[in-house]
Amino acid sequence: MTGYGLAVHDMEQTKFTVEIKSLNSKFLELSLKLPKSFSDKEYIIRNDCNKQIERGKVNISIQVDYAEASAKAATINHDLLKVYYNQLKLAADTLGDTGNNLLQLALNFPDVIQYDVDALNEDEWKYLYKTFQDAVKSFQVFRQDEGNVLKTDLILRIKNILGGMTQVEVYEPNRIIMIRERLNNYLNEAVGKESVDGNRFEQELIFYIDKLDITEEKVRLKSHCDYFLEALNDKDANGKKLGFISQEIGREINTIGSKANDANIQQIVVGMKEELEKIKEQLLNVL
């Protein structure tokens, strides 16, 4: 589900900024970027995201800016840097390598650049965590607003499907009459009117029409649509449940179409399928 949240907090000479962005995804795909001095708190943040965000391709950026640039600056272990550099230079001379990037390579070796592990204190973590929680709240408000728009659209689509079922009921009585006339005319042309056994014809017609009856499908379709609207109003996250219900709605619509045997009803069924496809697309945005 798409969403956006931003929160900024200031603590004396320190500024905390948390930005959350998300795109649609069936599962939670979390990408977290935070300062190295806060890396030990990553589990807490990820755990909160699993509980509160639930689904989506989520990118979280946590930034800490200090008024004094040197206050939290990293330090270079010059002795270790010198050791690495001399070893690289010796290897380069031995191999006849004239590369001039030895210093850059040495800087990338472990423990050459060191961060002040004491830079993170509990006050800073409290401010950062509060900023994160505020960003999540802003993010959830964004999602809630989008969810209300989606809810309105989904209700409209379900009502359109129910409206299509009402239109089907208009053509349904004439469908039986047309089937009777079509079969009767076919038999008269094939074997002659005098050779048709009227009683046998009526028996076979009843059996044939019974197979084309869509009463049960209409009842189930109405039940599924009502259940969909009921689940849509539930406060719990029901995106997956709505997806399952939409599958059942699709089965009933397809069965009605296969039994229709009428051009007008087939056109209505096509319209109902279009509405259902739009519902399935929108459900990708629902938790």
62 in Cβ contact with 18 (< 8 Å): yes
Is a pLDDT exceeding 80 seen at residue 285? Answer: no
Find the mean pLDDT for residues 43-64. 90
> Would you state the pLDDT for residue 233?
85
In the DSSP assignment, the letter for residue 247 is H
Name the more confident of 211 and 262: 262
User: Token pair of 3, please?
Assistant: 């969403």
Interval 253-277 mean pLDDT = 90
54 and 160 in a common domain: no
Cα dist from 5 to 48, 49, 59, 146, 235, whole Å:
15, 13, 11, 13, 22
Token digits of residue 257: 């179409």
Q: Are 241 and 120 in contact (CB under 8 A)?
A: no
Beta bridge partners of 61: 19, 33
Q: Which residues of 24-61 are buried (b: 16+ CB within 10 A; e: fewer)?
A: eeeeeebeeebbebbeebeeebeeebeeebebbbbebe
When computed from its CA atoms, the radius of gyration of the chain, rounded to whole angstroms, is 34
- Same domain flag for 8 and 100: no
Residue type for position 213: D
In a domain, 116, yes or no: no
Question: What's the chain's average pLDDT?
Answer: 83
**Containing structural domain, residue 170:** 145-283
Please indicate whether residue 215 or residue 131 has the higher confidence score (pLDDT): 131
Q: Is 186 a domain residue? A: yes
Q: Which residue has the higher pLDDT, 85 or 58?
A: 58
Q: Say whether pLDDT at 201 is over 70.
A: no
113 located within any domain: no
Specify whether 156 is located in the same domain as 251: yes
Going through 56-196 in order, the beta strands assigned E by DSSP cover 56-66, 75-76, 113-114
pLDDT (mean) for 155-171: 92
> Is 0.85 topped by the overall pTM?
no
Residue 154 to residues 207, 256, 266: CA-CA distances in angstroms?
Answer: 39, 22, 23
Asked if residue 48 belongs to a domain, the reply is yes
Residues forming a β-bridge with 30: 58
Residues 6+ positions from 143 with CB-CB distance below 8 Å: 1, 2, 3, 287
| Residue 46 pLDDT grade (very low, low, confident, very high; cuts 50, 70, 90) | very high
Tell whether 114 is covered by a domain.
no
Q: How many Cβ atoms from other residues are within 10 Å of residue 12's Cβ? A: 10
What's the pLDDT tens digit per position in 245-261?
999 999 999 999 888 87
Q: pLDDT class for 175, splitting at 50, 70, 90? A: confident
Task: Provide the number of structural domains found in the chain.
Answer: 3
Give yes or no: residues 9 and 138 share one domain: yes
